[in-house]
């Protein structure tokens, strides 16, 4: 049962509640999924609400090279020969009573999606969540000098009219499904709506992308009607863009490619061939995460 896997830390008084989800792993390019939800939770001074026991949901020992295996194993920190930290995957809910908001940050499970989903929907039911938003990100042919594009999928047709006002594109996709898709299928049966917002971020920017986290956080705050001060994050993202621009100046071929992406973006060309860009980047020794 889901109740056996949940530990609650508080019992806030919430109504007309919204929930936002961020998952590490797939669809967390540039840490935009988890980074956006963590940012909003921090800005709203959200408090611990509940957590899901990770036991049985994750593959911790994957055969293969150390580089691949490291993606699955728990995290540890050893200093001076002493183990100072050992951390299993975490799945935590936070709440802002003032904003009637629940924020969840977790790691997409390898096993037992049904039980994991039931944990999320139990929290949603207990605190009368009316709508769930998943925030994701994928690498794409988007220049770092522009806002990341947002694509959207929803649990019911009427939601499309609601989301159109936020300048999103509705997704056309066929391929491997993620946990958020599974949750979207289940949501109407659990009495709530679900919206998936996936940011398309620059494929050539490696690691944590503060520019995209700031942009997506701002847009999500607007959708939710939240007032948050993002000036500090904006300053950090501006410095990141300055560094990227400096790198472009040193590599004229890269600058030319990015200018081509800018032209396609400004002309709303959505079918830019990512394969060509990826091949070129790899030839230049630029690894895609």
Rg (CA), the chain: 20
Asked whether the predicted pLDDT for residue 289 surpasses 50, the reply is no
CATH assignment of the domain containing 201: 3.40.50.10900
Tell me if 73 is assigned to some domain. no
Structure confidence at residue 129 as a pLDDT band (50, 70, 90):
very high
Burial of 2 (0-12, 13-18, 19+ CB in 10 A): middle
Q: Cβ distance 12 to 97 under 8 Å?
A: yes
Mean pLDDT, the chain, whole residue set? 87
**pLDDT tens digit sequence for 25-41:** 888 988 999 999 999 99
Q: What is the mean pLDDT of residues 176-194?
A: 95
Burial of 272 (0-12, 13-18, 19+ CB in 10 A): middle
Tell me if 116 is assigned to some domain. yes
Report residue 252: phi and psi, to 5°: -55, -35
Q: What is the mean pLDDT of residues 238-252?
A: 75
**pLDDT tens digit sequence for 72-125:** 888 899 999 999 999 899 999 999 999 999 999 999 999 999 999 999 999 999
Tell me if 70 is assigned to some domain. no
Tell me if 179 is assigned to some domain. yes
**What's the number of domains the chain is made of?**
1
Distance CA 272, CA 70 (A): 33
Asked whether the predicted pLDDT for residue 281 surpasses 90, the reply is no
Tell me if 64 is assigned to some domain. no
Contacts of residue 211, Cβ cutoff 8 Å, sequence gap at least 6: 144, 205, 237, 240, 241
Structure confidence at residue 173 as a pLDDT band (50, 70, 90):
confident
Percent of the chain with pLDDT over 90: 56
Asked whether the predicted pLDDT for residue 180 surpasses 90, the reply is yes
Tell me if 66 is assigned to some domain. no
Contacts of residue 33, Cβ cutoff 8 Å, sequence gap at least 6: 22, 23, 24, 27, 134, 135, 136, 137
User: Of the given ranges (189-198, 213-222, 241-250, 273-282), which has the lowest mean pLDDT?
Assistant: 273-282
Distance CA 91, CA 89 (A): 7
Q: Give the model's pLDDT for residue 287.
A: 47
Q: Give the model's pLDDT for residue 284.
A: 52
Q: Give the model's pLDDT for residue 140.
A: 78
Q: Give the model's pLDDT for residue 80.
A: 94
Percent of the chain with pLDDT over 70: 92
Long-range contacts of 253-257 (CB under 8 A, 24+ apart): 253/284, 254/204, 254/284, 254/286
Distance CA 152, CA 170 (A): 5
Structure confidence at residue 69 as a pLDDT band (50, 70, 90):
confident
**pLDDT tens digit sequence for 14-23:** 999 999 999 9
**186: containing domain:** 2-54+89-283
Tell me if 195 is assigned to some domain. yes
Tell me if 288 is assigned to some domain. no
Asked whether the predicted pLDDT for residue 162 surpasses 80, the reply is yes
């Amino acid at each position: 049962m889901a109740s056996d896997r949940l530990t609650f830390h508080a019992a806030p008084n919430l109504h007309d509640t919204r929930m936002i989800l961020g998952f590490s792993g797939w669809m967390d390019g540039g840490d935009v999924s988890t980074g956006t939800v963590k940012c909003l939770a921090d800005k709203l001074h959200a408090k611990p609400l509940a957590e899901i026991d990770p036991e049985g949901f994750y593959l911790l020992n994957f055969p293969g090279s150390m580089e691949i295996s490291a993606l699955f194993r728990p995290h540890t920190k050893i200093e001076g020969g002493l183990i100072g930290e050992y951390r299993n995957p975490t799945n935590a809910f936070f709440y802002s009573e003032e904003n009637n908001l629940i924020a969840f940050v977790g790691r997409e499970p390898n096993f037992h999606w049904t039980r994991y989903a039931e944990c999320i929907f139990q929290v949603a039911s207990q605190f009368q969540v009316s709508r769930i938003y998943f925030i994701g990100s994928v690498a794409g042919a988007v220049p770092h000098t522009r806002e990341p594009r947002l694509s959207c999928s929803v649990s019911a047709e009427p939601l499309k009219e609601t989301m159109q006002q936020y300048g999103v594109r509705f997704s056309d996709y066929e391929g491997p499904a993620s946990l958020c898709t599974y949750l979207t299928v289940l949501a109407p049966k659990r009495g709530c709506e679900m919206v998936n917002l996936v940011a398309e971020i620059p494929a050539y920017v490696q690691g944590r992308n503060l520019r995209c986290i700031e942009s997506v956080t701002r847009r999500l705050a607007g959708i939710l009607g939240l007032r948050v001060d993002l000036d500090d994050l904006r300053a950090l993202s501006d410095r990141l863009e300055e560094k990227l621009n400096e790198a472009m100046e040193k590599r004229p071929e890269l600058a030319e490619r990015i200018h081509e992406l800018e032209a396609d973006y400004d002309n709303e060309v959505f079918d830019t061939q990512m394969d060509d860009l990826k091949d070129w980047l790899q030839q230049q020794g630029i690894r895609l995460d």
